[in-house]
Amino acid sequence: MGVISSDFKATPYWWEAAPPTDGTRDTPDRSYDAVVIGSGVTGLSAALTLAEGGRRVLLVDAGQIGSGASTRNNGSVVPFGFVHQELLEKRHGAELGAAVARVAVDAFDHLLAVPGRYGFDPMLRPYERYFLACTPEHYRHQVADAALQAERGIGLNWKPIDRAEVVRRTGVRNYHGALYIENSMALHPGLYVQGLVRAAAGAGVDMIGNCRVLGIDRSMDQHIVRTERGEIKARNVVMATNGYSDRALPYLKQRIVPARLYLSATEPVQPDLMQRFFAGRQLADSKRSMSWIRPSPDGTRLLVGGRGGMRGNDPEVHAATLYRDMVQMVPELEGVKLTHCWYGVIGFAMDFNPHMGEADGIHYSAAYAGVGLCFGTYLGNRVANRILGRPAAESTTALDRLPFRRIPGPSFMNPVYSRLGIEWHNLLDWWDLRKR
């Protein structure tokens, strides 16, 4: 049976309510106080804070404004994002590991206040969130992580629940337990970015889409930003290009492994199924190549995400893979067709942690490992506060203490590393799940 709807589209479902735009200007002025490169949540947050701090700001993007991962994602707003707490502490020690995890809580709290501050409604609502354990071993890790976080008082409030409780609460079977994430919200990412774009435009930020930055040179105490529409002088530059960083920005390109994540939207689902499995609830599984399902903000259809098919650019092939993942998680969804499938590019650092800082006088924030809505909004604001000379409490985080290591070898190999990493994860998942 075909799983692709006859009106299938390869563009994000979110863009129907909030399409990306071309910006506010066709040509930039020749000089600004600050140029922000990349118009996702990181760049918009940085540009908005800088403009509110009295700086003349240009926001520039190679594509349309907001057309990167920030309007292509699942819209989950979760105080979470790092590798397992156990692993984090093994790598960085208990004190720094806990401090780094607390950044996720600060970032979550920061995002929650943004729509109210700027007066827009991105359909931000609470959702129960369950990370379903695919194996008994995954569940043991979940229990250990939650215990460590509680012991450190990190404030993430992750609660392990056993198999019977998972069935009772969610109706899904076939899992060995779950982490229940209490502080979990979700929004419409298109409306969220649209709200930030309007706030930034209102604060006076000039925005130019479809204008790639080709390189950055230094001249005395200024930067010369070379773009497809001419050279621009700026005292400060912010790189907010995350997984899309190209060779114009070698510092980030050498440190970020890009990876595609895929998302599909279904046709409207029968109300009784929506009510039974997804009333105010999001599900994800514990595979390394995670699969997840959330209801659309209007509660009529589902968004289904994951790594998609292994290779190629055919969206229908990737949609078919996501369909299989969806039915594996909730078999009752068999027969529900997919109307959209698209991908976005995310960025990983070698240590899987987000990073912010300054390199050769250029500021950056990136590498959110697939959970950048909170981190991008929060760290973009911190980077801007640093440029504005604000106190440490507003401009630094525990992430400053982490080295942002260069990935060995030439950066054109990074997509190859990404591919190998995904294949390796798939192999480990296959090994873990073979006796499920």
Ligand X SMILES: Cc1cc2nc3c(=O)[nH]c(=O)nc-3n(C[C@H](O)[C@H](O)[C@H](O)COP(=O)(O)OP(=O)(O)OC[C@H]3O[C@@H](n4cnc5c(N)ncnc54)[C@H](O)[C@@H]3O)c2cc1C
Residue numbers of the site for ligand X (CB under 6 A)? 37-43, 60-63, 67-70, 72-76, 212-213, 240-246, 248, 261, 263, 305, 344, 346, 368, 370-374, 376
Q: How far apart are the C-alpha atoms of 242 and 36, rounded to whole Å?
A: 13
Q: For residues 199 and 156, is the Cβ–Cβ distance under 8 A?
A: no
Nearest distance from residue 260's CB to ligand X, in Å? 7
Nearest distance from residue 380's CB to ligand X, in Å? 7
DSSP 244: G
Cα distances from 276 to residues 85, 330, 333, in angstroms, run 32, 11, 11
Q: Which is nearer to ligand X, 178 or 265 (CB)?
A: 265
Amino acid at 30: R
Total length of the chain: 436
Q: For residue 361, how many other CB atoms are within 10 A of its CB?
A: 13
Nearest distance from residue 2's CB to ligand X, in Å? 23
Q: Which is nearer to ligand X, 244 or 278 (CB)?
A: 244
What are the E-state strand segments in 267-308?
A: 281-285, 292-295, 302-306
Cα distances from 218 to residues 153, 185, 384, in angstroms, run 45, 42, 20
Nearest distance from residue 381's CB to ligand X, in Å? 12
- Which ranges of 93-235 does DSSP label H, i.e. alpha helix? 94-118, 136-152, 163-170, 189-202
Nearest distance from residue 209's CB to ligand X, in Å? 9
Q: Which is nearer to ligand X, 60 or 330 (CB)?
A: 60
- What does the buried/exposed string (b/e) look like for 217-247 if buried means 16 or more CB atoms within 10 Å of the residue's CB? eeeeeebbbebeeeebebbbbbbbbbbbbee
What are the E-state strand segments in 163-315?
A: 177-181, 185-186, 206-208, 213-219, 222-227, 230-239, 257-266, 281-285, 292-295, 302-306
Nearest distance from residue 90's CB to ligand X, in Å? 25
Q: Which is nearer to ligand X, 76 or 321 (CB)?
A: 76
Q: Which is nearer to ligand X, 176 or 297 (CB)?
A: 297
Q: Which is nearer to ligand X, 58 or 371 (CB)?
A: 371
Q: Which is nearer to ligand X, 243 or 297 (CB)?
A: 243
DSSP 280: T
Nearest distance from residue 191's CB to ligand X, in Å? 14
* Number of H-type helices and E-type strands within the chain: 12, 20
Q: How far apart are the C-alpha atoms of 418 and 420, rounded to whole Å?
A: 5
Q: Which is nearer to ligand X, 61 or 285 (CB)?
A: 61
Name residues whose C-beta falls within 8 Å of residue 78's C-beta, 6 or more positions apart in sequence.
108, 129, 181, 183, 184, 185, 371, 374
Q: Which is nearer to ligand X, 76 or 142 (CB)?
A: 76
Secondary-structure percent of the chain, ordered helix, strand, coil, rounded to 5: 40, 25, 35
Q: For residues 132 and 329, is the Cβ–Cβ distance under 8 A?
A: yes
Q: Which is nearer to ligand X, 178 or 193 (CB)?
A: 193
Nearest distance from residue 232's CB to ligand X, in Å? 12
Q: For residues 375 and 348, is the Cβ–Cβ distance under 8 A?
A: no
Nearest distance from residue 367's CB to ligand X, in Å? 9
Nearest distance from residue 150's CB to ligand X, in Å? 23
